[in-house]
Amino acid sequence: MHIRLIAVGDRQPSWVDAAFEDYVARLPRQWRFALHTVPVAKRGQSDAAAAAIAEEQRKIMAGLKPDEQVVLLDEQGEHTGSREFASRLEAWLADGRDLCFIIGGPDGVGAQLRSRADFCWSLSRLTLPHGLARVLFAEQLYRAWTISKGHPYHRE
């Protein structure tokens, strides 16, 4: 079983990289977690967002495996609590297919990528910077694992 994150944005502040790596280091080794980054597409003056979304979408779609479960992190996605996410993660892992989470670019993702997703998940109703979303994702992935294992990290 592989779990990975494809995230648009190849350069993050050092605090993002440090916090993300701290949580990733805590994940179970059997997940073989990996981060794959896609450079942010250049944005010009006219119709910049649509062209950038299309370019980023093309690169993300090229990196997806046909039988992989895909979870799109998107502000318009479904809101879940940590326990509900832990239950979903357990179900995805029980399915046996590799699991890929996606964080799109600054202007969002295209319709093709949205339709490819098996689940669309919102980390928060707040608008988050992409680096912070990356850290929050890693923390919630770790938290979900601890919940499923009965580890005392999660408290209610």
Q: Residue 46: its pLDDT value, please?
A: 65
Q: Residue 47: its pLDDT value, please?
A: 65
Residue 145 in this model has a pLDDT that exceeds 90: yes
Tens digit of pLDDT for each residue in 86-114? 999 999 999 999 999 999 998 899 999 99
Nearest CA to 8 among 155, 131, 139? 131
Class of domain 3-39+51-149: alpha beta
**Which whole-number Å values give the CA distances from 97 to 12, 50, 121, 138, 151, in the listed order?**
29, 32, 19, 20, 25
Q: Is residue 131 within a helix (H) or strand (E), and if so which, with residue range?
A: helix 130-149
- Helix, strand, coil percentages (3-state) for the chain, rounded to 5, are 45, 20, 35
Residue 15 in this model has a pLDDT that exceeds 80: yes
If one compares 78 and 156, the residue with the highest pLDDT of the two is 78
Q: How confident is the model at residue 42 (pLDDT cuts 50, 70, 90)?
A: confident
List the single range of 43-47, 65-69, 76-80 with lowest mean pLDDT.
43-47
CB 73 within 8 A of CB 137: yes
